[in-house]
Homo-oligomer: A and B are copies of this chain.
């Protein structure tokens, strides 16, 4: 366990379908904007819109990355997401196992040549 020397972030995004969630996950990981993505299905979002309570099905996408990638990551999510104002929230990682932290750093340095 270590306090990361390079600041790390967990990003929480919601998406309206499995297709969009998986496209977003594959694109962002393929472009090394995050080391990994976890897609969690079956969520229901509840929010207000013009005074009414609205509900919709969501897939949550959780991304782990270095802080220096978060700005570009947020732009990429916006370009791939159908909503005008996607849910995009960055949570601090306080501690991390040393090898997993190094893996995140390595995975966000590498440029994919697929």
Contact = CB atoms under 8 A, between A and B. Distances in A.
A85 B103 contact: yes
Nearest to A31: B48
Interface string A101-114: 00100010010111
Contacts of A29: 46-48, 53
A58 B60 CA distance: 14
Copies in the complex: 3
A57 B3 CA distance: 28
A37 B48 contact: no
A70 interface: yes
A99 B85 contact: yes
Given A89-B10, A92-B91, A58 B38 contact: yes
